[in-house]
């Protein structure tokens, strides 16, 4: 079963931007393999917030995570390795939404947005 999350902040630019919707699978230690390059959702080890970052290092019980936009990322460079128990999920894909300028709005005679 996949779950969704909405990206907040700029630490994962250009891969993920504010407002992007990502799909993730729940992390289960016995069933999930962690690999460098994967994007994970996790509970911050020092603050009461949920974060999304890319794995850059995997060892037995911990991972290192980095934001793609290093200048704006609070990641393992600041808080060290992350215990696997903090991981919520592994991102599997993102929803690509078209930019608004690509929508074509046509008049539909059977429906009115401003009924009288």
Report domain extents, the chain.
2-102
What's the pLDDT score for residue 99? 63
Residue 7: both structure tokens together: 């990206």
> Three-state SS across 4-47?
EEECCCCCCCCCCCCCCEEEEEECCCCCCCCCCCCEEEEECCCC
Cα distance between residue 62 and residue 68, in whole Å = 19
The CB density around residue 49, as the number of other CB atoms within 10 Å, is 11
* Residue 45 near residue 75 (C-beta atoms within 8 A): no
Give the CATH number of domain 2-102; options: 1.25.40.10, 2.10.109.10, 2.130.10.10, 2.60.120.260: 2.10.109.10
For 35-89, the pLDDT digits (tens) are 999 999 999 999 999 999 999 999 989 999 999 999 999 999 999 999 999 999 9
Pairing of strands 50-58, 39-43: antiparallel
DSSP string across 51-87: EEEEEEEE-SSEEEEE-SSGGG--SHHHH--EEGGGE
Res 2: pLDDT = 84
């Amino acid at each position: 079963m996949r779950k969704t999350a909405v990206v907040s902040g700029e630490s994962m630019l250009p891969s993920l931007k504010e407002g992007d919707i990502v799909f993730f699978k729940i992390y289960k230690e016995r069933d999930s393999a962690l690999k460098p390059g994967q994007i994970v959702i996790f509970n911050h080890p020092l603050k009461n917030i949920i974060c999304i970052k890319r794995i850059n290092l995997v060892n037995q019980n911990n991972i290192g995570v980095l934001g793609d936009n290093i200048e704006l990322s609070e990641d393992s460079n600041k808080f060290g390795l992350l215990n696997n128990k903090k991981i919520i999920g592994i991102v599997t894909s993102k929803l690509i939404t078209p930019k608004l300028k690509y929508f074509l709005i046509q008049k539909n005679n059977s429906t009115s947005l401003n009924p009288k």
